[in-house]
Structure 1
């Protein structure tokens, strides 16, 4: 691999959401602050959305690591659950024991008892759900009912939803409007701009052991931003492939050509290029047809 060639101790652009590589960019820091403030204030539902590959899972892991006591977390990475399955999954995550033949209502009773005991100890229970847009409507409704468990002073359970843009569309459904009304804090992760792309790449290289800030040329950064659209997952894929290409040629720096070769080898960026060409072709045809119409149409009376 290229680690020794570039003086690295570990892979800088691994797709695994490793919190060691968390880059404190404005959008991700703001999202994390929103989460911490909302949870400290005892809000019931908090929502974080963003495009595919925007870093939601990494942010989720960062939150799990940074929540201090008395917060106790339960994490559901796969929310494609039935309503009963939701109760069992929450019980499992909280370490609640239940018999094999435990019914849905019995599981809910056990969860309620656990939450009351936790509140009496001063613990704050937080349920974090990743990929929440995949949750069935009836399960989302059961999720809302879980937050009905409360004392006169506080919510017994706080819920953080991480999801793609489809989550917002799902929450527009009339059948779960009560859940939508309970979301008091939300944040939408945006793609990185060109300056943030540079900071992101240099940060990951530095964590991986690189000490040279000129490993990527200015044109390489420009190409990275263009082909990745500022999406961190695509940035990681393109940068990794570009480093492989540079290593294969014995180059000490990554230039725009290596990024271009990486983009050609990546389905997501090829689709983007095709869509972009179609868009510009359509605009050109519209302009051409408009010009032809104006040229051949009779002059308008003054």
Structure 2
């Protein structure tokens, strides 16, 4: 109802788990890192707990998207089961056939035997098996004990089943009970997800509004944002409920900005929270509820009592700034007149229309221009021949390594803070199966600066990129010429010495301990660094870890924040 009034394309604060609105705070990234760590930890339990609405399901969904292809996953979302029901559900999730050995009721053994055979077969094939149980605080004690027994299924090398329990804070108390001491000893990682801070609450609200299509400033006053955090405690689900109702109240009152009084009134409507007496009425006639307010608002809009923001569909792709070398060099005249907004009815005849994202992408395939890899090389002040068969091999001679990923997130790009190649896929299919490669040169709040053919640049809202980008990225990072190219950069003496120096520069001090080899100490330092950066804490210095090490150690590399 209120979305067009605030210049939005979609309702921004739905409580439905829409992946477009995924917001990963530092806490969420660290929680995700603990779950990913559990995949290769050799079995046992991983616990993720948090208050209602803090984002446990969001983290779980993100985790499921990043599970490697060599992992089988069973997901139980309704744990109010008996032991036989749980085992049947696990078998069904893994696709394991089971049946009663004798006529009558199926026994626990009838499920355990085929499940054990399946896990052994998958282990022999090099596959891991992960069982995820959501709302695990509802598990009965005897079911928890059965889960512990499932972790007894093992070979001489490792356990065959990794179990992840996700639940509310009482799950921690359950596991800490004396009768579950044996289970508690098998917990290899645990994380309690806290609510958002005041600053993260502001970022969360801004993020959702940007994805919903907001082009201008936030429609929340500064004091209103502080009040939202105070009333919700930083719990994302409560933030959604309160902000949705507050925007509805502002719309009903014909106000373009949500003030603190509106937030207080919305809290009373949503949470039944007490509201201080005083200037808290939103609308004339002191209507008693938001239903009446919404009706009055709709009537006022229809009768023209207050103006409504005109949102042209083409404005979602209108850039903030467009520059091309041709435009800079062109003589003064109509072609270089100030760009008129598409929705401006008073635009002068003959004025150049603004370049849209669709037009920018269409131009990438027109005429001779450097491909995406050449654009990326230029951002790193490196040279790449147009006919280079293997750009990564060519760039390696200049001390640059390639990194590609097919499921990256915006938060990961912000964390890496370096120019990247994005593969965009226009919804009309005009780019073909391969998509269009453009250079993401800068991220500034909810705006992205893209570089493309003929040196052109385009600044667009991140919300406009979301439907076109599915996570495919490529970027570079600096590395010494003698650094091993495999997954273990410490495989050589020179590589190990370089990694030790980088860790020291990044603040991970060396600790000499008796009985621990230098390799074990190095792995422990990498593990601690990864935890601090929200990376998967596996102790292996892979490309993501090395890129973050470069940034923490002060290696001079181009930055997305600085625009190169």
1:177-192 matches, cutoff 5 A:
177-192=181-196
Note if contact 1:128-1:160 (Cα within 8 Å) is conserved in structure 2: yes
Determine the C-alpha separation between the residues in 2 that align with 1:58 and 1:95. Answer: 26
- Name the SS of the counterpart of 2:254 in structure 1: coil
User: Structure 1 length as normaliser, TM-score?
Assistant: 0.85
Instruction: Please name the residue that 1:173 is paired with.
Output: 177
Q: 1:221 to 1:265 in 2, by over 3 A?
A: same
User: Structure 2 length as normaliser, TM-score?
Assistant: 0.47
Q: 1:86 to 1:200 in 2, by over 3 A?
A: same
Query: Between Structure 1 and Structure 2, how many residues are aligned?
Result: 272
Instruction: Please name the residue that 2:339 is paired with.
Output: none
Instruction: Please name the residue that 1:30 is paired with.
Output: 30
Instruction: Please name the residue that 2:58 is paired with.
Output: 58
Instruction: Please name the residue that 2:135 is paired with.
Output: 131
Which 5+ residue runs of structure 1 have no aligned equivalent?
274-302
Q: Deviations over 1:257-279 (max 9, x none)?
A: 22111101123645x99xxxxxx
- Name the SS of the counterpart of 1:266 in structure 2: helix
Determine the C-alpha separation between the residues in 1 that align with 2:12 and 2:86. Answer: 36
Instruction: Please name the residue that 1:95 is paired with.
Output: 95
Q: Kindly state the Cα deviation for residue 212 of structure 1 after the two structures are TM-superposed.
A: 2.5
Q: Deviations over 1:99-122 (max 9, x none)?
A: 375322111111111111211221
Determine the C-alpha separation between the residues in 1 that align with 2:41 and 2:19. Answer: 25
Note if contact 1:87-1:104 (Cα within 8 Å) is conserved in structure 2: yes
Determine the C-alpha separation between the residues in 1 that align with 2:28 and 2:36. Answer: 12
Determine if the alignment matches structure 1 residue 110 to structure 2 residue 129.
Answer: no
Determine the C-alpha separation between the residues in 2 that align with 1:78 and 1:165. Answer: 17
Instruction: Please name the residue that 1:4 is paired with.
Output: 4
Q: Kindly state the Cα deviation for residue 230 of structure 1 after the two structures are TM-superposed.
A: 1.0
Note if contact 1:18-1:58 (Cα within 8 Å) is conserved in structure 2: no
1:154-173 matches, cutoff 5 A:
154-173=158-177
Determine the C-alpha separation between the residues in 1 that align with 2:53 and 2:83. Answer: 28
Note if contact 1:17-1:61 (Cα within 8 Å) is conserved in structure 2: no
Determine the C-alpha separation between the residues in 2 that align with 1:213 and 1:93. Answer: 47
RMSD of Structure 2 on Structure 1 (CA): 1.8
Q: Deviations over 1:230-279 (max 9, x none)?
A: 11111111011111111212222222122111101123645x99xxxxxx
1:1-302 matches, cutoff 5 A:
1-99=1-99, 101-267=105-271, 269=273
Instruction: Please name the residue that 1:284 is paired with.
Output: none
The structure having more radius of gyration, on CA atoms, is 2
Determine the C-alpha separation between the residues in 2 that align with 1:256 and 1:43. Answer: 50
- Name the SS of the counterpart of 2:131 in structure 1: strand
Q: Kindly state the Cα deviation for residue 179 of structure 1 after the two structures are TM-superposed.
A: 0.5
Determine the C-alpha separation between the residues in 1 that align with 2:148 and 2:9. Answer: 46
- Name the SS of the counterpart of 1:265 in structure 2: helix
Q: 1:42 to 1:13 in 2, by over 3 A?
A: farther
Q: Deviations over 1:2-51 (max 9, x none)?
A: 22222323222111223332212110011111111232333421001111
Note if contact 1:72-1:126 (Cα within 8 Å) is conserved in structure 2: yes
Tell me which protein shows more helix as a share of its residues: 1
Q: 1:266 to 1:40 in 2, by over 3 A?
A: same
